[in-house]
């Protein structure tokens, strides 16, 4: 009963690109010489232009430690970058990557220390 079901099934459909590749490989086996794939199937490797070779990628400079950032940079503002390890609160050195930052003056702070710095000065009641 199970074998009857297997025999009744049709062969799976093949895509045209798979059939083309299969034909090329079979021809290669028959002839013994490598067959070349048509341009529509073969990958086109793009060669780098001379301009790309002449200009190295621009490395950003970390504004906190003043060294070049080679791998990953945190963009704080346009033209201002830091290493992920340098993206910390100026007060407690808490990493701000998943928390965000707050500016107080020209320094970056976590929310807690930004609130402390930004809070209004205490008011003095003058009673005469």
**pLDDT tens-place string over residues 7-53:** 666 667 777 777 777 887 887 777 766 656 555 555 555 555 555 55
The count of domains in the chain is 2
Residue 10 tokens, joined: 């049709």
Domain of 78? 58-84
Residue 29: inside a domain: no
* Antiparallel, parallel or unpaired: β 68-69 and 60-61: antiparallel
Contact predicate 102/108, CB 8 Å: yes
Give the Cα separation of 97 and 88 in Å (integer): 8
Q: Domain check: are 93 and 77 in the same one?
A: no
| Res 92 pLDDT > 90 | yes
Query: What global pTM score does this model have?
Result: 0.48
Residue 37: inside a domain: no
Q: How many residues appear in the chain?
A: 128
Residue 74: inside a domain: yes
Residue 93: inside a domain: yes
Query: Rounded to whole angstroms, what are the CA distances from 17 to 13, 32, 56, 116, 125?
Result: 12, 22, 39, 66, 85
């Amino acid at each position: 009963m199970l074998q009857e079901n297997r025999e009744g099934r049709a062969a799976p459909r093949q895509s045209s690109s798979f059939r083309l590749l299969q034909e090329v490989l079979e021809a290669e086996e028959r002839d013994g010489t490598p067959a070349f794939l048509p341009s529509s199937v073969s990958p086109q490797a793009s060669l780098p232009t001379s301009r790309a070779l002449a200009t190295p990628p621009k490395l950003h400079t970390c504004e906190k430690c003043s060294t070049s950032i080679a791998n990953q940079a945190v963009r704080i503002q346009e033209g201002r970058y830091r290493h992920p390890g340098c993206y910390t609160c100026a007060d407690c050195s808490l990493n701000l990557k998943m928390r965000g930052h707050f500016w107080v003056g020209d320094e970056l702070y976590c929310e807690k220390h930004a609130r402390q710095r930004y809070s209004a000065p205490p008011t003095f009641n003058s009673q005469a």
